[in-house]
Amino acid sequence: MCGILAVLGCTDDSPAKRSRIIELSRRLRHRGPDWSGLHCDGNCYLAHERLAIVDPTSGDQPLYNEDKTIVVTVNGEIYNHKELREKLKNHEFRTGSDCEVIAHLYEEYGEDFVDMLDGMFSFVLLDTRDKSFIAARDAIGITPLYMGWGIDGSVWFASEMKALSDDCERFISFLPGHVYSSKQGVLRQWYNPPWYSEQLPSTQYDPLILRAAFEKAVIKRLMTDVPFGVLLSGGLDSSLVAAVASRHLADSEAACQWGSQLHTFCIGLKGSPDLKAAREVANYLGTRHHEFHFTVQEGIDALEEVIYHIETYDVTTIRASTPMFLMSRKIKSLGVKMVISGEGSDEIFGGYLYFHKAPNKKEFHEETCRKIKSLHLYDCLRANKSTSAWGVEARVPFLDKEFLNIAMSIDPEWKMVRPDLGRIEKWILRNAFDDEEKPYLPKHILYRQKEQFSDGVGYSWIDGLKDHANKQVTDSMLMNANFIYPENTPATKEAYFYRTIFEKFFPKNAARSTVPGGPSVACSTAKAVEWDASWSKNLDPSGRAALGVHAAAYEGGSDPKDTCLANGISMKLQEIPVENTANAV
C-alpha cells in the first residue's frame, strides 16, 4: 500500500512550492517507505511514496505512458493487470508494475476505463497535453482517498488527510466507486451494480458457485513479489481466508519465491479467545503461526499514535485498530510486507449478531447494503491505515468486486437467521465450505459464533480503555460536551477522550466532518433499535453480549450494535456538483 499526493492547478510553481509538496508527501512515508517520486508539470504536482509489492525493482512511481504525456500516481493493486496488458498490445510498457496499465488504458479508452480495473485502488491521472486530470477510488473504498481545495483554486488529493489538512481550506473523504473529472467538474459514480440500489435480489443460492468465487478472490490476492501472510483471529472469516490461501499457495507464483507454507498472525491479551482459536486453526492447516501478545497498558500508550494514523474518533474503530496497529508493527519486524484479511464478510452476509432480529428479507438486505456502503469509514479504514502505519499492505478478498456481486445477488432469504432450519448467522458462507470429503476447517470452527474483534483480543481490553477514559474525563467535561464539540457530540467519556486526541492532530471543521456521527449515526442505530427496542438502553457501541443472542455472551457487556453500525455519511459535498450519488450514501 502506497501514499499518493496530487496538487493540481495551483498558482505557485516556485522551488518553495516543490519543497512544500515534498514535505507534505513525507507525511505519508509510513505508507510507502521503499521509494519516493515526484512529477512536476508547471502548476501540477504528483507525488508518490512507494511500498513495493509487485515489481520492486522497476515499478517506481509516478508512472507514464510511452511519451510521458500521461502521468499517474497510484495507491493499490490491479489484480487483472496481465489480462489488461493483453488488451493493450499496441502499447509499450516500461515496467512490470500492475499499476502501469492505468496510464495506457486512459490513452486507449479515455476517462471511462475505471470499471475495467479489478483491484483496490486510488489514483490521480494527469493529462499534460491539456492539463486535465481524473481521480478515482475503488468500488468499496478499500484504499483511502481525500479530496481538498486550496484558497488559490487548486485541487488536492491524498491518501490520508494529514497531507492536505494544513494547506486546504476544505477537504472531504472521496466517495468509493466514484471518479472525478476536471473536464466535467463533477464527482461521478462509476460503480452501480443492481444490488447497490437496494433492489431485492432473487438469485437462488448455489454453495459451489459462492465457494468458487471466494477461492478465486483469495487466489488473486496471492499476487506478490514480497513475503506475505494471513491475519488469523480464529473466527470464521479469517479462518476461511487462511484455509483457501493455504490450499492454493503451492500453485501460486508466490510459492516459487517464498515457499508453500503459509504464515499466519494473531494478536491478543494473554489467554484471549482469539489466540486460542487461531492457534487451533493454524495447527489444523499446518501454517507457520506467529502469536503476539500485548497488554492493556501497551494499547493505551499507543492510542495517540493510533488516532493520528487512522484519522478518526469513532470509538469502535479505535478499539479494534489499536491491536491491529500493534500487530502490524510486529509483522513488519519479520520482514513481511503484505497480509490478507477477512474484512467485509459480516456486512455482506449479515454476520453481526443484531441481524438475528431482522424482521424480513427486505430489511435484512437493505441493512447489508447500507453497511457495505459505509465500510470505507470503518473497517476498510481500520484495516488499511492500521497496517499502512508500518508499511504493510492489507488485502481483503471478501470485498473482491466479482465475489461481492455474486454474494449480494443471492436472495437474502438464504442469509436470514433461521433457528428452525438450523441456520445461524452467515449460514450460507459456512455451508459453502462445509466439505465432508476434503474439509476446509473443523466443524466447530466453521460454525463458531462471531466474537467482536475488540473483545476477541481479550475481554479486559474494552474495560481497560473505559477505565482509562474515566480517569481522563470528568463528569463536568462530559456534561458540557455539546458546547465544546457541538458537531458529533461525544456521548461517553471514552468517546470524549478520543475526540480530544483527534482534535489535537486535526483541529479543522473539515477534519471532524470526515468522521460519521450525529444524526447519521443515530439514524442507522435506529435500525437495530427498530428491530429490538431493548437495544436502545445502552450507549456503548460495541457488539458485546448481544443481549442473549451470543451463545457465550460476555457478562459485563452491553449494546448489541456492531463495530460498523453507523452507515450514514456526515460529510458535505457542496464544493462540487455530484452526479448519480444517491445510491452511494
CATH code: domain of residue 334: 3.40.50.620
Per-residue pLDDT averaged across 156-160, rounded?
A: 98
Would you say 342 is a known binding-site residue? yes
The CA distance from 226 to 53, in Å, is 6
Residues 111 and 230 in one domain: no
What is the per-residue pLDDT for 530? 84
Q: For residue 553, is it within any domain?
A: no
Residues 18 and 89 in one domain: yes
Residues 248 and 371 in one domain: yes
Per-residue pLDDT averaged across 294-305, rounded?
A: 98
Cα→Cα distances 265→52, 289, 355, 388, Å: 21, 6, 29, 16
Residues 6+ apart with CB under 8 A from 251: none
The CA distance from 366 to 370, in Å, is 6
Would you say 353 is a known binding-site residue? no
pLDDT over threshold 50, residue 582: no
Which residue range is the domain that position 146 belongs to? 3-191+573-584
**Which percentage of the chain shows pLDDT scores above 70?**
89
Q: Which of 52, 60, 5, 59 is nearest to 27 (CA)?
A: 5
What is the per-residue pLDDT for 151? 94
Average pLDDT, the chain: 89
Per-residue pLDDT averaged across 135-139, rounded?
A: 98
What is the per-residue pLDDT for 251? 85
Q: For residue 424, is it within any domain?
A: yes
**Which percentage of the chain shows pLDDT scores above 90?**
80
Would you say 19 is a known binding-site residue? no
Q: What is the pLDDT of residues 22-59, one digit of tens each?
A: 999 999 999 999 999 999 998 999 999 999 999 888 88
Number of structural domains (the chain) is: 2
Lowest-confidence segment of 55-59, 103-107, 399-403 by average pLDDT:
55-59
Per DSSP, the residues of 512-538 read HHTS--THHHHHHHHHHHHH-GGGGG-
Residues 91 and 240 in one domain: no
pLDDT over threshold 50, residue 564: no
Q: For residue 415, is it within any domain?
A: yes
Amino acid occupying residue 252: S
Adjacent-strand bridge partners of 147: 157, 172
Q: For residue 364, is it within any domain?
A: yes
Would you say 540 is a known binding-site residue? no
Residues 210 and 293 in one domain: yes
Q: What is the pLDDT of residues 343-363, one digit of tens each?
A: 999 999 999 989 999 999 999
Residues that are catalytic: 2
What is the per-residue pLDDT for 540? 63
Residues 187 and 214 in one domain: no
What is the per-residue pLDDT for 539? 53
pLDDT over threshold 60, residue 387: yes
Q: Which of 478, 454, 476, 481 is nearest to 545 (CA)?
A: 454
Q: What is the pLDDT of residues 233-248, one digit of tens each?
A: 999 999 999 999 999 9
- What are the b/e assignments for 445-461, b being 16+ CB within 10 Å? bbbbbbbbbbbbbbbbb
Residue 216 — very low, low, confident or very high, per pLDDT cuts 50/70/90?
very high
Q: For residue 288, is it within any domain?
A: yes
Residues 156 and 22 in one domain: yes
The CA distance from 461 to 451, in Å, is 14
Residues 144 and 228 in one domain: no
Q: For residue 127, is it within any domain?
A: yes
What is the per-residue pLDDT for 581? 35
Residues 216 and 359 in one domain: yes
Q: For residue 565, is it within any domain?
A: no
Element (H, E) at 329: helix 315-333
Residues 274 and 343 in one domain: yes
Q: For residue 313, is it within any domain?
A: yes
CATH code: domain of residue 166: 3.60.20.10
Q: Which of 230, 217, 222 is nearest to 336 (CA)?
A: 230
Cα→Cα distances 563→109, 257, 316, 454, Å: 40, 37, 5, 9
Adjacent-strand bridge partners of 46: 6, 39
Higher pLDDT among residues 522 and 308, named by residue: 308
- Please state whether beta strands 186-189 and 578-579 pair in parallel, antiparallel, or not at all (unpaired): parallel
Residues 166 and 242 in one domain: no
Cα→Cα distances 9→6, 19, 44, 150, 164, Å: 10, 17, 6, 10, 15
Adjacent-strand bridge partners of 172: 147
Residues 30 and 91 in one domain: yes
Residue 579 — very low, low, confident or very high, per pLDDT cuts 50/70/90?
very low
Q: What is the pLDDT of residues 493-545, one digit of tens each?
A: 999 999 999 999 999 999 999 999 754 454 456 677 788 877 666 656 655 44
Would you say 374 is a known binding-site residue? no
